[in-house]
Structure 1
Amino acid sequence: MKKTYSLLFFFCLALTGVSQAQLPPIFENSRAQQAQSEATVRRFLSPVRILWQTGTIRNAERLLKVGNGQADLSGKDMCSLKSDGTGKPSLLLDFGRELHGGLQIVTGQWKESKPITVRIRFGESASEAMSTIEPKQNATNDHAIRDLTVQVPWLGKLEIGNTGFRFVRIDLVDGDTELLLKEIRAIFVFRDIPYLGSFHSSDDLLNKIWATGAYTVHLNMQDYLWDGIKRDRLVWVGDMHPEVSTINAVFGYNEVVPKSLDLARDITPLPGWMNGISTYSMWWILIQKDWYLHNGKLDYLKQQQPYLVKLVNLLIQKIDDKNSEKLDGTRFLDWPSSENPKGIHAGLQSMMVLSLNAAGELSRILNDPATAKKCTEAVARLKQYVPDPNNSKQGAALLALSGLVPAEKANKDVLAVNGAHNFSTFYGYYMLQAQAQAGDYKTALANIREFWGGMLNLGATSFWEDFNLDWVKNTGRIDELVKEGQKDIHGDCGAYCYVGFRHSLAHGWASGPTPWLTEHVLGIKVVEPGCKAIKIEPHLEDLTFAEGTFPTPYGIVKVKHTKLASGKIQTDVSGPKEVRIIR
């Protein structure tokens, strides 16, 4: 287990223990406090390979060496890019995995001490880094600039960029010029936090999927909890729910979650909906419930009470005399379900039940029996009307989780049909949860392997905004240049707001298998607020063993499950004395 864990997280596990320097006294105290509140650190990574080059380039392998970020006068072994009569040189660098941050360029001394112009293109795929911003494949500079022309200094250093990327293309723009490069390094910007949760089993694919989901969310834990590091660098509250579930399973408490929840609350005065979407205000309630269950911070929950009470009253107003939801605002579950209004209606009815049930539980904790009673009565009304999901896996999953439809029926009629086809990266988590509720762990694991494993098979190192199994036929990998006759999985696919290269390849809402594997394969489920009681109920299915860790406010819970020859599961559990283990 230790060997696998260190290989998967070598790029972040070794990055702990950074002390925060104080600012000199000359700075005002308010500015010093602001600077000290920065949660992220920077690390520098050299590229791992040169994927492509053209033109007159000498000693390009120099750029793969570990650097120190310092220009010097030695002039030894510089990488030379020379524009001449044969054309202008370019090269494409691969940094090995998806990163958040920018680029550091360290230069040498050329004949004239003047800047040289270069074009820099960041890409989450090799083909995106090779693309030009134009309408054909929808390459953009939305949210973060990824295609820019800059000047690099003579015998100096330039740092540029703030985006999500793995690949960088560099073009020499000036004619009749020689550019000397000492180093090109990625500036990796991330929260310096340990991976307290872990998962390791007899299936290495599941291990990689768990780790990739954890890393995807880690990348998006920036100033706030974003949905994407290239595009959608925003706080989308519904998208936060699977992200927070992952944080609970991997990192434990982190201030980025309440900070983001409070931002959404503070910029959304009622009767407005968070992000303009009614379900997203309901997801805010569900996240508050999950956050309290894992962390037990009653003082923080009390701060939400005034807003929660008003939001409950608003939701109850959106039930008509037929006990059906009549929600306004944007009626949205996720993008792949957006053309199925009947499926959306089923999902909204279910979300009303789920969120009002959660609000009732929170109200009882907050000693507000009046609001709790309103929630109970509203849920009773809503359960008298059950919409048809219209074959929507999103709608069917929510109907099952809300109890409006038996999970076994939703699974048999809709969720288990045609495997992981019509899954989605966001609502795939709830489809898996509904299948677990139906007791169909075997199918859920098969769907995880097929759907999320399908992204890994195409070179993913973080999970994508969306993925469709129908895209896979005759497509190239994202870490290779597309071959003649192949489809570009990035530039030629996508839909809705993420057509082509605008498609984010590091989207936190896609991390659902990580908390799902922790909850259902390791069998770790929190049953009392603050993790004071945890139930252990593993479901190994075809696995011969599974082991891992889980963060609580009191320390780490460790579990190991081994399938014996008889088929019986042997379980070993240890944890802090404050945590009651139920088996």
Structure 2
Amino acid sequence: MKIKSLLFSIILLGASTLFSQNNILKNAFENRLQKDDMTQSYVTPAKLVWSSDQTGEHVKNPEVLLKEFDGQLSTSGAGMCVMRSDTDKQASVLLDFGTELYGGLQLAAGIRGNKKPLKVRVRLGESVSEAMSNSIDNSVPGMNSATNDHSLRDFIIELPWLGSVEVGNSGFRFVRIDLLDLNEDLPLKAVRAIFRYRDIPYTGSFRCDNERLNRIWETGAYTVHLNMQEYLWDGIKRDRLVWVGDMHPEVMTINTVFGKNEVVRKSLDFARDTTPLPGWMNTISSYSLWWIIIHRDLYLHQGDLAYLKEQQTYLNALIQQIVARVSNGKEELDGGRFLDWPTSEKKDVIHSGLQALTIMSLKAGEDIAGWLKDEALKKMCLSSLSSMQKYIPSHRDSKQAAALLSIANVLPSASASKVILKDGATDFATFYGYYMLEALAKDGKYEEAMDIISDYWGAMLDLGATTFWENFIYEERKNAGRIDELVSESKYDIHADGGDYCYVGLRGSLCHGWASGPTTWLTEHVLGIKVVEPGAKTIRIKPNLGNLKFAEGNYPTPYGKVYVKHVKQADGKINTTVHAPKEINVIK
């Protein structure tokens, strides 16, 4: 009994000591610990795309890098990829992780005779061409246009003897590893991607009998998911910033796929708090207009009145600032005057677009004022709207301007459709393509819009995309090489040789959230799920299947998922099934 009592006392003492130590650690860090909602997972390469050596002399057993690694090295030298460079040949491998991702890289080096660290060059790429580029210079297009802007994707590191190194982060799918030290053996056990993401469910869904449209919906959803990092970014390689105008398509996709997520509010508040008036968000006047529109659409889908009230003071002052820059019904916004990059040099088009966006933002302000019961704000919006709607600027044959003017009820929808449908997907754009699709839906051109989605966004998939791009010129698809292959001299390199403005060549982002518009559009207009009362308390179901035989999917609301299924009957009529939470009023 005495021995048992002694043991019990020792155990209690040990537990007490451990508890005390844990408290010390907690107290030491609790004021400095910063936690986030991100998850990290390791990803094994899916494919060896290329090796500098086919003889087995300089790169031995590269297939080892395609095997799963449990993270623990051992003193055994077996089962290694061994790289060795000399003056005649540099040992290099190019690996494909199969899908674009955001994160870093883990390299695990095995045991060897010489214990000195060995230098390797790491090149991350969203395309094979980017990972194979030889220099960092975005002043010229082509293979020299890769950059380290916003994130390091081309750098030199040292690997330890019998140890692992983790580096990053950037957006990439491919990695090239070059051994720089000569006449030294580098045994590599693993090269793994460190995938950084929000571990959240895809509550929304879309499925139809057209697999191409299914893939496009999923790709748009995944594109935005990757950009939901600490804040809502526009791009995971470049433009890892809160660009407010670019956020609107992303927020609509988040509403459609994930429902409520704190990254949206966090980013909207960041934009507000870092833009004291009379400044414009991101120094661009239209982006402050989009901030108002986003808040209207966010409240419509999520219904959080307390959060909307938090914006009231800033919103009132911002709308006063906008109204003060309207003269005789015409917008005269200062700051950066910008719609999207393809229209950035067309002043008349920008004016037409800003006129429409000003009307859209004031209409959003009117809606918000009604919800907040702010009569003064509502009166201010209505007064300015009354004068602006008397002025009709020209669309200048611009698909962007025509789309916005139609959405703002300035241009008849049929007139806008004629402009937008001219030459099909030609002159569509990744960002404003969403609003072109919305304008087509307003005119009832659902089938035509689905054809353009299939042609334009589908063409990126045909070229190997797993996420949608910052920019895509439809005509460039002709004779273009795939982004997941080495591009031959007879092919057009869609990544290295394309691009313009801020996205010249390999600097261009192949994962940009503003390109996700079809995901929202397919749910709203094909499934026909339209939120008509704040908080999704009332939803209208009106499908538009076009040539489809069926479509089904889920839509996230504050009360749970709404499920719809539409099946076209032999006589062309559609049989619709709806399952919705009891709190939601469904109108058919």
- Is TM-score (shorter-chain normalized) higher than 0.5? yes
Question: Contact 2:76–2:111 at 8 Å: present in 1 too?
Answer: no
Q: Would you say 1:403 and 2:409 are equivalent positions?
A: yes
Q: How far 1:342 moved relative to its partner?
A: 1.2
Q: Which amino acid aligns with 2:77?
A: G
With structure 1 as the length reference, what TM-score do the two structures score?
0.94
Q: How far 1:34 moved relative to its partner?
A: 6.5
1:339 to 333, 336, 345: 345
2:222 to 215, 218, 225: 215
1:390 to 370, 393, 396: 396
| Distance across 1 between alignment mates of 2:97 and 2:486 | 15
Q: How far 1:27 moved relative to its partner?
A: 3.9
The DSSP-based 3-state class of the residue aligned with 1:148 is: strand
Q: How does 1:365-514 map to 2 (within 5 A)?
A: 365-412=371-418, 414-514=419-519
Q: Would you say 1:518 and 2:495 are equivalent positions?
A: no
The DSSP-based 3-state class of the residue aligned with 1:526 is: strand
Closer/same/farther in 2, CA of residues 409 and 233 from structure 1, 3 Å limit: same
Q: Would you say 1:266 and 2:264 are equivalent positions?
A: no
Q: How far 1:96 moved relative to its partner?
A: 0.1
Q: How far 1:212 moved relative to its partner?
A: 0.1
Question: Contact 2:255–2:301 at 8 Å: present in 1 too?
Answer: yes
Q: How does 1:16-165 map to 2 (within 5 A)?
A: 24-27=22-25, 31-32=29-30, 35=33, 37-55=35-53, 56-132=58-134, 133-134=136-137, 135-136=139-140, 137=142, 138-165=145-172
The DSSP-based 3-state class of the residue aligned with 1:558 is: strand
| Distance across 1 between alignment mates of 2:511 and 2:220 | 10
Q: How far 1:77 moved relative to its partner?
A: 1.4
Structure 1 match to 2:195: 188
Structure 1 match to 2:325: 318
- CA deviation digits over 1:60-113, x for unaligned, max 9? 100000111111112211100012353220010000010000100111011111
| Distance across 2 between alignment mates of 1:417 and 1:342 | 20
The DSSP-based 3-state class of the residue aligned with 2:396 is: coil
The DSSP-based 3-state class of the residue aligned with 2:572 is: coil
The DSSP-based 3-state class of the residue aligned with 2:556 is: strand
- CA deviation digits over 1:448-477, x for unaligned, max 9? 011100100000000000101121121100
| Distance across 2 between alignment mates of 1:53 and 1:261 | 45
Q: Which amino acid aligns with 1:118?
A: V
Q: Which amino acid aligns with 2:383?
A: E
Q: Which segment drifts farther, 448-457 or 69-78?
A: 69-78
Q: Which amino acid aligns with 2:38?
A: T
Q: Which amino acid aligns with 1:51?
A: V
Q: Which amino acid aligns with 1:255?
A: E
Structure 2 match to 1:17: none
| Distance across 2 between alignment mates of 1:79 and 1:53 | 12
Q: Which amino acid aligns with 2:371?
A: I
Closer/same/farther in 2, CA of residues 560 and 314 from structure 1, 3 Å limit: same
Q: Which segment drifts farther, 567-576 or 33-42?
A: 33-42
| Distance across 2 between alignment mates of 1:212 and 1:30 | 44
Question: Contact 1:561–1:572 at 8 Å: present in 2 too?
Answer: yes
Question: Contact 2:85–2:181 at 8 Å: present in 1 too?
Answer: yes
The DSSP-based 3-state class of the residue aligned with 2:520 is: helix
Q: Which amino acid aligns with 1:113?
A: K
Q: How many residues end up aligned between the 2 structures?
A: 559
Q: Which amino acid aligns with 1:47?
A: P
Flag the structure with larger Rg: 2
Q: Which segment drifts farther, 416-425 or 211-220?
A: 416-425
| Distance across 1 between alignment mates of 2:492 and 2:22 | 55
Question: Contact 2:106–2:164 at 8 Å: present in 1 too?
Answer: yes
Closer/same/farther in 2, CA of residues 357 and 85 from structure 1, 3 Å limit: closer
- CA deviation digits over 1:254-300, x for unaligned, max 9? 00000000000001011111001111000000100111111111110
Structure 2 match to 1:227: 234
Structure 2 match to 1:3: none
With structure 2 as the length reference, what TM-score do the two structures score?
0.94
Q: How far 1:25 moved relative to its partner?
A: 3.0
The DSSP-based 3-state class of the residue aligned with 1:25 is: helix
Q: Which amino acid aligns with 1:244?
A: V
Question: Contact 1:340–1:392 at 8 Å: present in 2 too?
Answer: no
Q: Which segment drifts farther, 83-92 or 474-483?
A: 83-92
- CA deviation digits over 1:134-163, x for unaligned, max 9? 344311000000000000111010000100
Closer/same/farther in 2, CA of residues 424 and 157 from structure 1, 3 Å limit: same
Q: Which segment drifts farther, 247-256 or 28-37?
A: 28-37
- CA deviation digits over 1:31-56, x for unaligned, max 9? 54764631110010110111000131
| Distance across 2 between alignment mates of 1:189 and 1:88 | 31
The DSSP-based 3-state class of the residue aligned with 1:186 is: strand
| Distance across 2 between alignment mates of 1:66 and 1:316 | 60
| Distance across 2 between alignment mates of 1:415 and 1:33 | 55
The DSSP-based 3-state class of the residue aligned with 2:337 is: coil
| Distance across 1 between alignment mates of 2:69 and 2:123 | 21
Question: Contact 2:220–2:468 at 8 Å: present in 1 too?
Answer: yes
Question: Contact 2:244–2:281 at 8 Å: present in 1 too?
Answer: yes
Question: Contact 1:70–1:157 at 8 Å: present in 2 too?
Answer: no
| Distance across 1 between alignment mates of 2:91 and 2:114 | 19
Structure 2 match to 1:7: none
Structure 2 match to 1:201: 208
Closer/same/farther in 2, CA of residues 90 and 345 from structure 1, 3 Å limit: same
Q: How far 1:235 moved relative to its partner?
A: 0.2
Q: How does 1:162-181 map to 2 (within 5 A)?
A: 162-181=169-188
| Distance across 1 between alignment mates of 2:456 and 2:112 | 51
Structure 2 match to 1:581: 586
Structure 1, unmatched stretches of 5+, are 1-22
Identity of aligned residues (%): 55
Structure 2 match to 1:4: none
Structure 2, unmatched stretches of 5+, are 1-20
| Distance across 1 between alignment mates of 2:496 and 2:256 | 33
Q: How does 1:352-363 map to 2 (within 5 A)?
A: 352-363=358-369
Q: How far 1:30 moved relative to its partner?
A: 9.2
The DSSP-based 3-state class of the residue aligned with 2:133 is: coil
Question: Contact 1:547–1:561 at 8 Å: present in 2 too?
Answer: yes
Q: Which amino acid aligns with 1:422?
A: D
Question: Contact 2:129–2:495 at 8 Å: present in 1 too?
Answer: yes
Q: Which amino acid aligns with 1:300?
A: Y
